[in-house]
A = this chain, B = another copy of it.
Amino acid sequence: MDRESLTLLEYALLGLLRIVPLSGYDVQRIFASTPLGHFSSSPGAIYPALKRLEKRGLVRFTVDASTELRPRRLSALAEPGMGALDAWAHEPVTRDELLRDGRAPVLRFSLMEGFLSTSDVIGYLRGYGDVVRAYLDELREQRPLAEGAGGLHPLLSLEHGIRGYEAQAAWTDWAIEQLQEREDGLP
């Protein structure tokens, strides 16, 4: 009831509604047809989540009057919702978050545009990269243990994890470059 932070799904919804008001059905289609597809597009997840956001005052409902017979209930971001997004955008990546839900750091990056200065965004990405590299060290320490334990598959699986996080670390470096280039392009 007094839960301070929101679920990933709720943040994703706020991020979408920041662009344009949407109906629950709109959201379903977006989740079913874009890279946000790892969110469930089932109405049983979306409608209750929108209702929760409305109850908290982060979102406002309006009925689309243009179609009287088949009303669409549009959800629009309210100012407190903007504030919640802004606050979330300022949270750094932690090891815990990386392990608990690895998709949160990128989702936050995706939605933070406009809330942070370029240098703060770069700071966020640096922190993200640092957390990933620290966890990579942990995983690499596991290599001798996994070799000793016998069994080829656990060893290969460990390499799967290492390669995945290496790709994430490399992406943070690349993204920082992209942001700096974009910055330099504007005198």
Contacts and interface: CB of A to CB of B under 8 A. Distances in A.
Contacts of A158: 35
How many copies make up the complex? 2
A168 B161 CA distance: 9
Interface in A125-177: 139, 142, 151-154, 156-161, 163-164, 166-168, 170-171, 174-175
Contacts of A154: 110, 113
A182 B113 CA distance: 48
Main secondary structure of the interface of A (DSSP, over half): helix
B179 A171 contact: no
A84 interface: no
B153 A171 contact: no
A100 B42 CA distance: 12
A160 B171 contact: yes
Nearest to A166: B167
Interface string A100-119: 10100011011111000000
Contact of A113 (B109, B153, B166): B153
Contact of A37 (B40, B99, B166, B174): B99
B109 A153 contact: yes
